[in-house]
Amino acid sequence: MTADDPIDALAARLGYEFSARSNLTAALAHRSWCAENDGPPSNERLEFLGDSVLGLVVTDHIYLTYSTLPEGELAKVRASVVNAQALAEAAVRLELGAAVQLGKGEAASGGREKPSIHSDAFEAVIGAIYLDGGWDAAQEFVLRMLGDLIEEAAAGPGGQDYETRLQ
């Protein structure tokens, strides 16, 4: 582990210690990098898994925590948190873009700043944490990273949907 390695630096910021670093490395392998390197597959499968884990963690948490909210409001709270913009913002806070392995063309075109790459990698990291440490580890990570956003969204009608709040 070296301070100069962006993956090691990210691992320190995550607040989760991987038992198998290969899980984190796989989560950071963008398809553009994989196309240029005969290495592991891209992070897309981990992104798929992470998306499902994220949805269930948030749904479980809001269902148990906000027992007076009706189904429609629960759905709005979840939607305000489980979306590309919210995940990209969380990824930026983690400086995730610095650790994503990108192909030369994607890196040259500003890929490290693209919200879609940030949100996809964030979901892949959730998937990697789930595979590495199970439900409890993934749940702890998601709630630590998104708990404030969940609380804010549940605070009022429409959560982050400001148009609904105004109405």
Of the candidates 47, 51, 73, 120, the residue annotated as catalytic is 51
Instruction: Note if 51 is an active site residue.
Output: yes
Of the candidates 73, 106, 123, 132, the residue annotated as catalytic is 123
- The tokens describing 58, both together, are 């948030």
Q: Which residue has the tokens 């105004």?
A: 166
Rounded Cα distance, 72 and 64, in Å: 15
Rg, C-alpha atoms of the chain: 17
* Alpha carbon distances (Å) from 68 to 26, 42, 62, 140, 149: 40, 41, 10, 23, 19
Instruction: Note if 36 is an active site residue.
Output: no
User: Would you name the residues annotated as active-site residues?
Assistant: 51, 123
